[in-house]
Every structure is written in structure tokens, then in C-alpha cells.
Structure 1
Amino acid sequence: MTTKRDDAGRPPAPRRGSRPTIRDVAALAGVSKSAVSRVFNGQGGISEPTRERIQEAARKLGWSPSASASALRGERTRTIGLVIVQDPDALAADQFFAETVVGLEHELGPREYGLRLHVIGPDPEQETALYERLARERRVDAFILTDSRVGDARPDLLRRLGIPGLLIGRPWREGAVECVHSTGLEQAMAAAADHLVELGHRDIAYLAGPADRVHIGLRRHRLERSLASHGLTLRALVDTELTNEATAEATRRLLDDPSDRPTAIIYANDTMALTGIATAQRMGLRVPEDLSVIGHDDLPLGRWFHPRLTTISQDARAISRTAARRLLTLLGEPVEPLPDPPPAELTIRESTAPAPQQRGPAPHDTAHRTAP
């Protein structure tokens, strides 16, 4: 190959302000473009000294293969997309999300797949445009979806874009997309209602989170059905954002009037429940003597909080590990499937007790396990 060189015998440097190209790397290393391509595509036929020279030239120039160019050649990016539509403050406080990411990385990392995360606000046009751009530029091989919403258009969008997707959670329409979720969530919610009723609670509130989330609606429906079987209705149903600030404000409103406050509150997740306990304590209420609290997800912090949190347990890490392996299978990777995640269940600890003015020995409960 003939390469134009300057008066000192060096290949010309890339133009200032321009991005280095494979041609620049080849020129600096004194090889052909095909040799550079073979090195970065993991193909053979290149001697070790030449390979090292090419890699050193790429490092000097700050060049790396284009994901879109690789995709045009039919190559995998080995990257999974995860687009989260949520307030950043709520996401920062969401331990369930952190456990989900850990589970995904546990399976993707050892197989040399990366996770590409985008966090955006609730703008449908921006969300659609992001999926379209990532697919068009072939930045990812597939998507993990979370937080299924009423009217969720993402499964149809991914089909139109011709890119695989898998949902962690229950879909808005059954069969719309491959999914992995914990079983028994509605039954565990019914067990939570039964537990509070058995403790003498009649004024029960639910801080549910955003009303458009599919899982929120399913839990609420089962909670209301269970209470109705006892001749009760929800004392209050509050659809609120998932931030600590929104949860604290909603809890203060529920508890502000001593003559008209619930004796128990069920929260949409553990982070909200712990925020609710702290808010109630600052208002001078004792948990569980004056107010019983139930969370959802059984995150590690709830086991160390005082009082330890009664919650609906589901294994976020196991769910996401199963989801990652199933998605890799959709991509044709030879991975062994994991067993289904364990079903959700009510875990009774110290944040629930008999309702005020109905103290006495708690009813013997053999239907639900009690954590040590």
C-alpha cells in the first residue's frame, strides 16, 4: 500500500476538528484498511506485531469502530438498551431499580454484553424518537422494557423497528411482548389487606404511585376486592409521584387531622414506606402503635430500619437475571434458562400491629411467613 507522507516521512495527521477514521489508523500504522478492520473485528490472519501496531495507532488517534458501521456489516453491538421514563429524583431513591440493574449486569457482563441506559422525562415524542434513533443507528441489539403503562405503545414500536424487546413486569395487553415477572403479586396484596383486617384495622389507605402503571392498577384492584370481601373500602387512595418529597407530602395530608386519619397505610414500594414512617414519626406518631405501615419489594434497607418493615417480598435481582437470560436466548445466545423467580409473598415484621384501641395479643397467623 502507498501512503502519502510529509517531508519528515510521517503519514499526515487527521485534519484539526475532524474525527479520525479507519483510513487515518491504517495510514499511521502503515497497513491497509482491511487489516485494521480484521483486527477490530476479531478476525485472524494478522501477525501479532502488526496487530499491536494497529492498536497503538488507534489509541494515539482516539479511534474506535463505529457501532453503526459495524451494524451495517451485520455485526452485533453486544449492547442492550434500557430507556427509563422517570423523574431523576425518584429514580435516585429507587432501590428496586438498582437491584434490577445489578441482576441484568450479572448475566450480561460475563457474556460481554453491555447495558446502555437512558433516563428521560415523560415526553412520548422524545421517548419514541429515542427508540427510533437507537434502532436506526443500530446502537443496541435489543431492549429491556420496564414500568408497563396503560396504553403502552412500546411493543408495537419495537415490532415496527424490527428489534427484539422483553418486558420486566406485566404487559398492558397479554401477549403483546415477551415478559418476565414475579407471580403472586395480587395474592400477596390480598394477604396484606387480610393481615391488617385481622389486626383490627378498618381505616386503611393506599399510596399507590402513578395511576397509569399497569402493576399499580392490578395491585389496587386486588386490594379493593380483598377489602370488599370484609365489607370495607379504602379509607383513601392517593395516586402520587414516587419521589420522597411527594410521598412525605401525601403522608402528611393523610395524617394531618387526628380525628380523621387512617390507622394503616400501604405504600407502592419500600422506599415510599420508609419515607412515610419517618414522616409519621416527625408528626409525633408511633409506628406501629399509632400507625401500621406495609411496603412493597422487600428491599434490604427495610430489614435494618426501625421498626423493621412489613412488606410484600419479590426478588428484583432474580427477576432481572431471568429476564436477561431470556432476552439473550431471543438473540440466539446459547444460555441455560434460570428457574422462574420465587412468587411474591407477604413478609410480616415489626411495622404492623393491632389497630389503636384494639391492643391485645395479635391473632395467630399461619397463612403468611414472619421474617426472623
Structure 2
Amino acid sequence: MNTQKRRKATQIDIARLAGVSQSTVSLVLNEDPSRSQIPAATRERVMDAVRELGYTANPAARSLKGGRNRLLGLYTFETVFPLDQRDFYYPFLAGVEEETAERGYDLVLFTSAGYDQGRGVYAGDVNRLKVADGCVLLGRHIRRDDLERLVAEDFPVVFVGRRHVEGGALSFVAADYAAATRDVVLRLAALGHRRLLYLAAGDQSEPSQDRASGYQEGLAEAGVTSDERIIEPDGLTADRLVGWLADGVTAIVVEPTEDDRVAVALQEAAASARVGIPEDVSVALLGDPPTWSASPRDWAGFSIPRTEMARAAVDMLINLLDGQAEQRTLFLPCPQVTGDSIAPARVRP
């Protein structure tokens, strides 16, 4: 029995069988624009030889030669696998996959860690993303030094979400949190609310900054000057909630987080204090709840266009690769959600 392993066919083998030069084979297989100058009969002979020899291209080798391998990467700074359809990141991942497939690219998921302290793009000095033509980046807790190095290398990346990089310009597709948050504040003001409280996520990420900016803009536009704010959900007790209401707070806006800890803490405090939502206090979320639980509560606020953001990021990345990127940043509007958690301000004695 002959157990000798058959040698993989090469472009030289194809050239010999088709009776053409290796450069002609390369132009045909790599879909080079110059291939249009090659007669159709010659191209067909090359493809017949490819099929006969069972030739398969090596994407990594093609990439090392400076060509395009039609692979797009997706790198997450968060641990998001495994997940289900209720996960905060699921719509982003689904949108990237759908748009990539529709555009005729394959998708590579980068999920391994490059640092002892956590996830990172670089393993030593090696950019692990370079196996792909370009990469979509995702995640709230990022490594700024990784982003700075990617921009400095001019490696094609697009971030899902607004991110700022010192000394360079990072392409991104983001939700317009500032405008959406301003509109939520104006809705509450139109219902007679004059003292609002803002429960923030407690970090200084760009999405948090945008929401805070929109909140202040809405207060100023509505002529509402009273502003109470708590940064961390820790210590959000029933007594504290009752104290806020006694001080005149009639509405609370909440910045959701991936683990929903702020909204959960508020609901538990309200239930413990027997405070009704929205009968005693109106509550609006500055974005969708990160998990779609069985809770009957239909939160008022706005919705984050996660799938649309992801698809737009893929589109922007491909335009970057094609040298046709006229727009390097994009903000998508967030539709307002009516919900059942806000009502006219209650007049207290």
C-alpha cells in the first residue's frame, strides 16, 4: 500500500499544465485587474488546470506578498464567547457576520489573549490581526496603547463605537448618544420634570462622555438647572432612593452597562422601598437593556442600532481597503423608545 503523501499543487504546476507563464496564473488566481487583458480561452485553461490539480490558495502567503486574501477580522477587547441572542454583544457580532458574507469576504474571529494581564492585539511585537486584510474592533474596556500602535502602523481597522486615539485618527462607527440623551431629557422636561438624577456607569469611556454631554445639553435647553448625579451603583439602597425623592427628584436617567448592574440596583431599591415606576418616579434608560430578560418592564429611553453599526463598520472597512473611504467617522441616530416607565411629574406636598 502506497502511503506516500501527495505533494500539493503549485502555481508552477498549473502553468506547466495550462501552457502559460506563472505570472499569468498569478494574475488569474488573484483576480488582478490586469487579468481582463488575458484572453478568455487562456483564463479558462488556467482554471481547468486548477480544478484538475486540486489547487488551493494559501491566504497567508498571498497576504505576505501584499495581496488581498478577502479575509476580514473581528477582534473583541471583551470576552464575548460563548453567547446567546440575549447577550449585549450579539447584535454587533451578527451584523459583522452578515455584512461580511454579503460583501463576499470570509470572517476571522480573534479571541485569544496577548497579554498576561488581559486581552491584547499584540503578541510581543507581532500584530496578530495581519492575517486579515483589515479588522473590525469591538469592546468597552480597551487597550489604548494597542489602538495607538494600530493607527501608527496604518493597519486598516474600524472601531464599533467612538474611540479617541492620541496622535492619530481612528476610523469608527458610533451611536449618537449625545443627541439621543438630550432628547430623553427634553421628553422628561416636557412632562413637567424639573429635578433629574443621572445614574452613570462609572467610567470615562467615550460613550459615557457622550451621554453625559447630551444630558447637560438637554438640561440647559430645557432650562432645568437642578442636577443630581451618582457615579457608582454601589450603595444604591432603598433609603437612598427615598431620600432623593424626598429632596424633589421626580425622574432618573440610567446609563446601561453590559452586566445591567445599574438598572438592576435601581429596580431592587425601588421594590424594597415600595416606590412605584413610573407612579412615584419616572425612569428612562440611555440605551437598550443589555440583556433581554423576562421582565415585563418596557423601559422608556432610546435604542442602540447595534446591528446597523456593525454592518456600517464592515462597509467602512472595505471602503478603506479599496481606497474609497471618503468618510472615516459615522454617527448613527438612536430611535427613541416610548416605553411605560415615564409619566408626568408627580406633584408632591
- Say whether the fold is shared (TM-score over 0.5): yes
**TM-score, length basis structure 2:** 0.69
Partner of 1:368: none
Structure 1 runs (4+) greater than 6 angstroms displaced: 33-40, 89-94, 148-151, 299-304, 333-337
**By how many angstroms is 1:168 displaced?**
2.7
Q: 1:78 to 1:277 in 2, by over 3 A?
A: farther
1:155-181: CA deviation from partner (whole Å, max 9, x where unpaired): 431233342112333232596122323
**Superposed counterparts of 1:59-208, under 5 Å:** 66-86=58-78, 88=80, 95-119=87-111, 126-130=119-123, 133-135=126-128, 138-147=130-139, 152-172=144-164, 176-183=169-176, 185-197=177-189, 198-200=191-193, 202=195, 204-208=197-201
Whole-angstrom CA distance in 2 between matches of 1:343 and 1:264: 24
**Which residue does 2:305 correspond to in 1?**
315
- The share of aligned pairs that are identical, in percent, is 20
Partner of 1:3: none
How far does the alpha carbon of each residue in 1:95-115 deviate from its partner, in whole angstroms, 9 at most, with x for none?
552222222223210222133
Give the equivalent residue in structure 1 for 2:226.
232
Deviation at 1:35, TM superposition (A): 8.0
CA distance in 2, matches of 1:288, 1:170: 32
Residue 260 in structure 1 maps to residue 243 in structure 2: yes
Q: Give the total of aligned pairs.
A: 315
Confirm or deny: 8 A CA contact 1:292 1:351 kept in the other structure.
Answer: yes
Structure with the greater relative contact order (CA < 8 A, sep ≥ 6): 1 or 2?
A: 2
Secondary structure of the residue that 2:96 maps to in structure 1? helix
d(CA) in 2 for partners of 1:50 and 1:235? 67
Gap regions ≥5 residues in structure 2: 31-42
* CA drift at 1:310: 0.6
Q: Which residue of 1 aligns with 2:207?
A: 215
> Is the 8 Å Cα contact of residues 313 and 344 (structure 1) preserved in structure 2?
yes
Letter in 2 for 1:180: V
Q: Which residue of 2 aligns with 1:247?
A: none
Q: 1 CA distance for matches of 2:282 and 2:342? A: 4
Q: Secondary structure at the match of 1:83?
A: strand
1:350 Cα shift? 0.7
Cα distance in 2 between the residues matched to 1:314 and 1:223: 17
Work out which of the residue numbers 269, 289, 304 in structure 1 matches 2:279.
289
Query: Is 1:343 aligned to 2:333, yes or no?
Result: yes
* Partner Cα distance (1:323, 1:78) in 2: 16
What's the Cα RMSD here? 4.6
Consecutive unaligned residues of structure 1, counting only runs of 5 or more, are 1-7, 14-22, 56-63, 239-249, 360-372
Distance change (3 Å), C-alpha of 1:342 and 1:172: closer
Which whole-Å deviations, capped at 9, do the CAs of 1:114-145 have from their partners, x for residues lacking one?
A: 33233467957851415964557x31111223
SS in 2 for 1:127: coil
Q: Structure 1-normalised TM-score? A: 0.65
